[in-house]
Amino acid sequence: MAVEMTWAEIDGARIELPVGTPLLNYLQDLGEADPDQDNPVVMASINGRRTTLREPILGEERIRLIRLQEREASATLQRTVLFLLAVAADELFPENKLSVDFSYGGGMYCALQHGAVLTTDQTMVLEKRMRELVEQDLAITPQNLGLRAVLKIHKRRGDAQSYQTARYLRRDAMTLYRMEGFQPLYYGRQLPSTGFVREFRLVHEDPGFVLLVGSPHAPDRLATISPQPKLLHTLREYSHWADDLGVQDTGHMNEYIVQGRTAELIQVSEARHTKFFVDTAQQVADMPEGGRLILLAGPSSSGKTSCAKRLSVQLRVLGLRPYALSLDDYFVDREETPLDEDGDYDYEALDALKVDLFNEHLKHLMAGEPVNLPRYDFITGTSSPAAEPTRIGPEQPLIVEGIHALNPQLTPAISEEDKLRIYVSALCHMNIDDFSYIKTTHSRLFRRIVRDAQFRGYTASETLARWPKVRRGEDRHIFPFQNHADLFFNSGLTYEMAVLKLWAEPRLAAVESNDPFYGLARSLIDRLSLLLPIDASQVPPTSLLREFIGGSGFNY
């Protein structure tokens, strides 16, 4: 019987091969998918959508090969290491389930459930077993299963979390992955086999550990973990709160929605935010008069502006009259703005601000002296002093919001006891199952996609194109200084992704298959598909979420 042939374009070269040939088989024949190579092909983009190498080639397809050291492969590498962890933990701790709780310290914080503690020796044994699995180079294969079969498998294994997640999926089938020789199934795209995994390490951190995986472009090198006790406390606090509330994963969140309990969930989540503003306002009120400088910073789409407005309202309840000072008005003239590595004006650099003038004005304002504040004109790229001077009284705390607010070099002229530094970020992580989760950075990205579409006229593709540069700015100017914060405000709302999906999904679906961000757009849609929607009409006008979806009671 004649073999049916077809063609595909692989990295620009047209090739002929039998219909249904797995891409992995073709590449192995060429020696391009060998785990012993320094930089092997580990996945592919077929017609714009990222997929595993085990995908069959059906013909007339555009295929772009992705190698291990490319940034696009990093998430898949991380998921495969998590699969190793899941298999090893299932084998070594059958009575105590291990789970990945949240991203932390450049890695992922993991712990046993129900308060069980891992010893340092147990952590070492777990890492040793994971390395043995890598050495065996076990195949990882996709299993295309009907939803009924998936539910039965999870139920038989007693995996209540995965069962709950799958129960509310709005599709009849899904792809899970199986490691050769083991029963556990894993959600999310994988490397072809365990032998492609490079460097990883388990760093003990009571009561669990931090899993570090090689970084993009350098899978053989690990970052040095920097302790961040305030951030870790904030993440753990939210994790415990979500567990107590019963919304620790997508399955339980969907259970709330199906039961018609979304109003309750929204009210409790918003009340949690309100408690922060009440407590913080009182802390400001207790500061010495004439020495109340509130410095507020956080990454993109963390809700800094809404945080400042909510705090201002609560300060007024206590009889104070806060005054907001904009760092944007202290930009240097445009031609003096430093340039970034792309030759563009770097408005995020500290040198883009008139720091000395800012400190001089701070001292005068906090002393009750008049100051002619500058006004920056973004059209001309210059600033000029206001005609009328500004004077504030002892009952007027100064609120400064900006990316450099936590950097000590921004306010050296002001004594430490006169400052209250607040770090704002959306830190509501959500598990899909024990070993896969939706990152908090995705929460901020969904917020930004929605806000950019609603108020700035940007497409989802344009937002995705800007996101890497935004993240680089955060890594340089915000994250290194978060430990300087006196307070951490978790601006995430447990229910927000179920609301944001109503705006984000259609924007992401509009990204064309020939767009360079098509693959990322589809993966984000996959994440949103795990949650049922929540009607936005239930979100109060004072909610921080309104900054992104509209309908806020505040002016922006």
Tens-digit pLDDT profile for residues 445-477: 999 999 999 999 999 999 999 999 899 889 999
- 443, 441, 463, 461: which is closest to 452 by C-alpha? 463
pLDDT of 525 above 70 = yes
User: Which residues on adjacent β-strands are paired with residue 63?
Assistant: 10, 46
Domain with CATH 3.30.980.10 in the chain: 74-223
CA distance linking residue 175 with residue 193, whole number of Å: 17
DSSP 122-174: HHHHHHHHHHHHHHTT-BEEEEEEEHHHHHHHHHHHT-HHHHHHHHT-SSSEE
CA distance 61 to 339: 41
Q: What pTM value is reported for the model?
A: 0.90
Apex 404 CA angle, 376 and 299, nearest 5: 105
Looking at the chain, which residues constitute the CATH 3.10.20.30 domain(s)? Answer: 5-67
Handedness of CA 310, 437, 150, 526 (dihedral sign): positive
Q: Is the pLDDT of residue 301 over 90?
A: yes
The predicted model gives 19-45 an average pLDDT of 91
Q: How far is CA 486 from the centre of its chain?
A: 22
The string of pLDDT tens digits covering residues 389-413 is 999 998 999 999 988 999 999 999 9
Least confident of 101-105, 113-117, 517-521: 113-117
Q: Which CATH class is domain 74-223?
A: alpha beta
Token duo for residue 394? 């002892």
Residues 262 and 538 sit within 8 Å (Cβ to Cβ): yes
Q: Which of 41, 20, 52 has the alpha carbon at shortest distance from 519?
A: 52
As a whole number, the mean pLDDT across the chain is: 91
Is residue 1 scored above 80 in pLDDT?
A: no
Residue 436 pLDDT grade (very low, low, confident, very high; cuts 50, 70, 90) = confident
Of 426, 424, 413, whose CA–CA distance to 293 is shortest?
Answer: 413
Q: Which of 16-20, 265-269, 272-276, 352-356 has the lowest mean pLDDT?
A: 16-20
The class of domain 5-67 in CATH terms is: alpha beta
* pLDDT band at residue 166 using 50, 70 and 90 as cut-offs: confident
**Angle, helices 160-167/250-258, rounded to nearest 10 degrees:** 50
pLDDT at 374 over 80: yes
What is the average pLDDT across 191-205?
95
Query: DSSP per residue over 233-292, as a string?
Result: HHHHHHHHHHHHHT-SBHHHHHHHHHTT-HHHHHHHHHHHHHHHHHHHHHHHHTSPTT--
Do 245 and 255 touch, CB atoms closer than 8 A?
no
Q: Which of 386, 380, 381, 385 is nearest to 332 (CA)?
A: 381
Note whether 479 and 526 are within 8 A (CB).
Answer: no
Q: Where residue 514 falls among pLDDT bands split at 50, 70, 90?
A: confident
The pLDDT tens digits for 241-296 are: 999 999 989 999 999 999 999 999 999 999 999 999 999 999 999 998 878 999 99
